[in-house]
Structure formats: structure tokens, C-alpha cells
Structure 1
Amino acid sequence: MTRLRAPWRGFRLGLLAFPAMVLASVLITSYSLVANVVGILLVPPVLMLTRGLMDVYRDLIGRWSGVRIERPYLPDPAEEREGFAGVWDRFVRLSSDPATWRDLAWLLADPIVVLFTAALPFYLIAYGIWGFGLAAGMGGVIAGLGGTDYYGFVPVNGDYANDPTRIGFTIVLATVFTVAGFLSGPKLLGVYGRWGRLLLGPTERSRLALRVQHLTETRSEAVDASAAELRRIERDLHDGAQARLVAMGMTLGAIEHLLDKDPAKARLLLAETRQSSAKALNELRDLVRGIHPPVLADRGVADAVKAIALDHPLKVEVDTDLPGRPHPPVESAAFFAVSEILTNAAKHSGADRVWIDLRYEDGMLRITVTDDGRGGATFEGGTGLRGIERRIGTFDGVLALNSPPGGPTIVTLELPCELSSPRT
């Protein structure tokens, strides 16, 4: 199927050369007018249109060739000046971005490059079909009208329609061109993808700037999440164990006064105090499990996930392949992410079974949670997936969701990490 689709996809990528050539002309014209100030006003919006087209290229190349290309542009500043000063700042910022000139190089070169890479298989197939058409009768029509044409090295003129040798050569060449087009499609699409990554991908400068921006955002989110977690712990302690301990202190004070006057009443209050102490201890244990479950600290994330699977209301199957343990912060993030996903499955999915696959590959802790529910899950609607994404984003982790209507729902987590040795 890939060989059948690749030539058509390459042709569609070739069609983008037409808006690319138009934008290249407009962009060069805009820069030529900078001395007249008009260019300063025109360049930023034209560059935004260019970046939009480049995003289309990146998306199509990533989906069709399998070569993923990151967006390379330097981040926008937090604040910009108003008026013409802001326009000037934007012009300078966009023009000084290395990705801008790489985009221009793409606009100028790609209309030629695409013809010899991604789009070439389509034209080989089209030329092959034309050869079959010539052999089927079009060649005789051209020769009969006095025309002269060549198909490869075969002349199409004179008595072509009555020359089986030339018709035979035409069919052979047409077959070669058609087969070559289908066979070369995927490979030339891959070559085009690597060409796209060369010019449309980020430079080291932009990659570093984007990395700094990402770390700044995730640090801020981590600080907010930590503050919210501390508030939750404080609230749970204040409303739960702390209130019970205060009540126990008051009850013990009453018992102290009743020991001589009413021993029976004192014994009754002691029994109630013992029950309150047990409840307070259970609440403290639940609170500790919510902060960092003991099984996670003692046995690792694989066994901790198996433990929550045993207590889950749905039937959960867990398959793990971890030769070691990730660092504790990564383990904690992965565990609570899986716990939240399982909670969502029980509340919203309508599923009967859940499958969890947890393994370590290529420097990544990969976790896949699949349920057989009704599907239709999104990042919106209070499902908590956005919170999970922010939690693992602190560790440069990513979350992918695939939940078509009717199911199944597949949530995939990837967290880059190193594993400690099993002995450690």
C-alpha cells in the first residue's frame, strides 16, 4: 500500500512548489522595499505566511515520510513595544532568526529538488501510462496526422501504428517507467524527508532557545504543582488527622477528670479515643500513600502499578519489562500518571478490561494503557489528562492519546530516563 500511495503523496508535495514560488517572490520583493520603510511593514506578515506554509510542509513530511521535523523558530518575547517601535522590533527579531533564511532557501530550492525526489515517481508513472497510450493507438493518431514524437529512444512517426517492433519497445519502456515509479516512491519520499529536516529543522541556536523556553515553562508548572500538592496535604491534615488528634486531646482531658468520679464513663471515652486513634492512623497512612506509596519506594514502579491493578474495580492486566529502576522522581511521576489514567478508565470509559504495558526501550520509559471502553476521550472536559501531561512534561515526557468514538482508548507515555542496576 505504501508503494501505491508514495507517488501520489510526492505529487501533492510537488504542488506546494507553486505557493512556495509565489511566497519567495513576495518575500524578496518585501525585503527590497525595506529602504522605503514599506518593507518593514510587509516583511513580518509575509514571514508569518511563509512559516504557515513551512508548517504544512513539516506536517506532511512527518506523516508521509516518517521523518519528524521540529518547529525551529526562536520563541517570541514576553512583551513587545507598541507602535512602530514594536513593528521594528518584530522585523528585526524575525529577520535575525536563522530559520527565516533557511525558509527562504527552501522556497527557492524546493521547486527544483522536489521534482527529482518526492514528485519524480509520479511523473515516471505518468510517463509510463503515456507510453501505454501511445502503444494502444495514440502513437498511430500522432503519426497519422503527420506529427513526430519520441518516447524515450523510440520515434513515433510515419508508419508507427504498423511497426510491431517500435510498439514493443514502447510497451517495454512504459513498463520500466511505471514499475520504477512505484518501486522508487517510498525511498525518494524518504530522501525528500531528510532534505526537509536539513532545512526546515531547528538549528543548534534555536534548539537551545526552545529548550530553555520549555524548561522555564515546565519549571513554573512544577512549582505550581508542588504548591498545590502542599496545599492539599495541609488541607487533608487539617481536616482529617489533625482534627482527630485535637479531639483526642480534649477527650483525654475529660477522662482525666472522670477517673475518680465516674470510672465507667472514663472507660467508655477511652474506647472511643482508641477508635479515633486508629482512624487517625489510617488517614495518615492514606495521606502517605498519596504522597509516595511505600510499595513504590520499596519495590519500584512496576510492582507499584501491579499493586494498584489488583485493587482496581476493572480487570487490569499488567505486562512489564524493566531491567532496572528509574530515578525516584521519574518513578513517582509515572506511577501517579498510570493511577490517574486508571481512575479515568473506571469513571468515564465504560470499559471492562484494561491492559498496561510498561517497558524500557531506547532510553525511554514507555507506558501504554489501553481499555476496551467507548472511546471519545479528549484532553478537555476535566479528565485530568492535561494534568498528567504537565506532570510528565517536567521530565521532558510526552503523552499521546488515541481514543476514537467506539474505542478503544490508548494512552501512551514516554519519559526519557536512565535505569539503575537491579542490585541498586
Structure 2
Amino acid sequence: MRKARIISLTITLLASTYMLKSQNTVTLPGLLKSMEQWNKLYRVSAATDSVYWLRKSNIKVNYLPKVELNAEATWQSDVTKVNIPMPGISIPTPDNDNYKLTIDVSQLIWDGGATKSMHQLEDESRKLEQNKVESELYTQKERVASLYFGILSTDMAIRQLKAMAVELDKRIEELEAGVNAGVVLESSANALKAERLRLEQSIDANLSQRYSLAESIYSLTGVKIDESAQGIIPSLAIPNQDVCSRPDYKLFDLQNGYLSTAAGALNSRRMPKLSAFARVGYGKPGLNMLSNEFDSFALVGARLSWSIWDWNSTSRERQTLKIQQNILQYRRNAYDEGCSAQVSSALAQIQSLQRQIQTDEKIVELLEKSVKTSASQLKNGTITSSVYLSDFNSLLRARIDMELHKIKLSQEVVKLYFTLGMSIND
């Protein structure tokens, strides 16, 4: 993406002022903070940490002595015999059945870094699990933002509809006075009354939609947004950065780190392992293989093990990890291109909305003058109610379009923040 395309400018959007019953206010940053305390996904992160520490504790056990109790009873088809006759000497023949009860103690001295690699893999795995939770939460935050702007849009529409309803009531009152005086046809007043009822229908439809949006927000944040709540349009500066730092983007670095650590673990797996051991036991025979008596015994020693040939299994695993890293890089490049396209599209949309708002203001100004003139002509009976309603509805649509464009402008900036992974503060 080209940083030159990111415009260093700040848009200050007027906070929406709704005709509501109370002064309760709701902000997008406030909802996002409430979500952090309410959303059950945050509990997953704590549970993931618990699993991590339990696994780390198990890995540390590798450095501690291992104690095993073993019992063994065997029968063999043949035994060692000394068939050389020697005067005065009798060499007993061992029994075919043998019995042993031993306690074996082993202590790892050096494992070529295998245990250290296990610790590192567990650390990387923990980061990946935490990132998955962050990505899920981030997606839900975007959902909350979308719902919040939906509430702002419906509240704006309701406000405009109610304002126009008040204006229409004044015209109806004027026409009814003319009807009573016999200078205005009753049909003209009835046409305005029908339009007034249609406004009420639109208000009710928007209220129903608002309720549905508020319930969805409650399920995600635990915040009740009733009809008396006043939403504030976010006022954010357009970012001047082009570095994407979304949680799902960070996943590429974490996955690459995990694969690199796994590759290092393969090397340590092929290293020799040195350990010390001790054994004490009781059995028949003991260490004297020519004895047929039960006896105790003990021995100590050191053991070196080294897998010198694994049929190229480690080499194939190393190649697999390398391929996975290449695939990860391909996906990262594709993500970079997608992020760049989204940022460019958002900036173009922001510029377009800014121009539309400027035009909207001029349109509203002209239509307000036209409606004012039409209202005077309707009162004097020089135009019909249908002509006035045409001007009236044009002004209503223009005002709603202008306010929607302002809300949409703020929403596009917020979406750009989410795309880049930037924090949305008050």
C-alpha cells in the first residue's frame, strides 16, 4: 500500500443530537470496554493460561528423578549349566523360574536440549491460543461497531421523521382552518393527514429495528440501550499509518515462530541423551546367576542413548516444516495485498462521502427554501397538497441522506481503524 494515499487530515463529525427523553449517552468506546468485561470469550484466555502452566509444570518434571517399582516373574525353557566334573566341587543348576522386585531410579543429566525445546514450543503454543481468542474478540468488536452505527442511523431517521411530522402538523392545522373557512378543499387536508400517518408508520418501523439492534448489542456487551439513550457519533482522526496490526495478522508471526521452534526441536531430538540410574531389588536369583536362593541386590550406573539412524524421518519432518513456512509466507503476502486494497477503498470512500456531504448541505438549503415557499402557496390555495407533499418528501429524503452520509463517514473511519488494528478511544 502506498502511504502517500493515506491523507493526513482530521474529520470532526458533529455529535448527533437526538430529541430523546433523557441525557443518557452511549459511545462506541464505552460499548467496547463493556464488552471486555461481559463477553465470555475473555474467560477462555484465563483458562488457556491455566492449561499452559499445568503443561509447563509437567515438562519441568523431566529434570526430576524418576522412580519406578517393577515386579517380574519368568519361566525359561533352559538355563546355564556347567557340565564339567570337578572333584569336591558341586556347581548348582539354576532353577527355570525367576522372580524380581526392584525399585529403579533414573536421573536425566543431559538430553541435548529436548526439554528446553519443549518449553519453547509450549510458550509459542500459548501465544497462538491467546491470539485465537483475541481474533474472535476482535471480530465481535467489529460486530458491535456495526450494530452501534445501525442504532445511530435508526435514531437519526426517527429524529428527522418526528421533526418533519411536527412541520406537517402545522400545515394540517393551517389547512383545517381554511377548510372551516370554506376557502380550502377538504381533500387537500386529507392528503396531508394520510402522509402524516405514513410518517408514523415509518417511525414505528424504525423503532422496531432499533429494538432488534439494541438486543443484539446487549447480548455482546451487556449494555441496555433503551429509547431514551443518546448515541454519539465517533469523531476520529483519519490514520496516517499503513501497518496492519490486527490480531489475525499477528497470527502469521506467531505461526512462523512456532514452526521455527519446532524445527529447532527436531535437532535436539537427534542429540544423544545421558542419564544416571540406580536399582535396588530382591529376587531369585540376585546378581549371582548360579544361586537358587532369594537375595537382595543393588547396582548403579550411567546410560547413553543415541538414535543414529531414523530412516530419514527427521529430514522429512524438517522439509514439511519448511513447506509450511513457505505456505505461511504466501498467505501473508495475500493478506498484505488484501489489507492494502481495503485501506485504499476506505480512503476513496471517505473522500467521496466528504464531497457528498458538502453537496447534501447545498441541496438541503435549496429544498428548505422551496418547501417554505410551497407551504405559503398551499396556505393561500395557489398550489395543491400533492405539489407541497412532493417538495416536503424531497426535503425529508435530502435531510436523511445528509445525516446518513455523516454517520457513514464516521463508520468508514472506524472500519479503517479496525482494518489497521488501531485502538478506538474516546
- The TM-score with structure 1 as length reference comes to 0.21
Higher alpha-carbon Rg:
2
Select the structure that is richer in helix: 1
Question: RCO greater where, 1 or 2, for CA within 8 Å and sep 6 or more?
Answer: 2
- The TM-score with structure 2 as length reference comes to 0.21
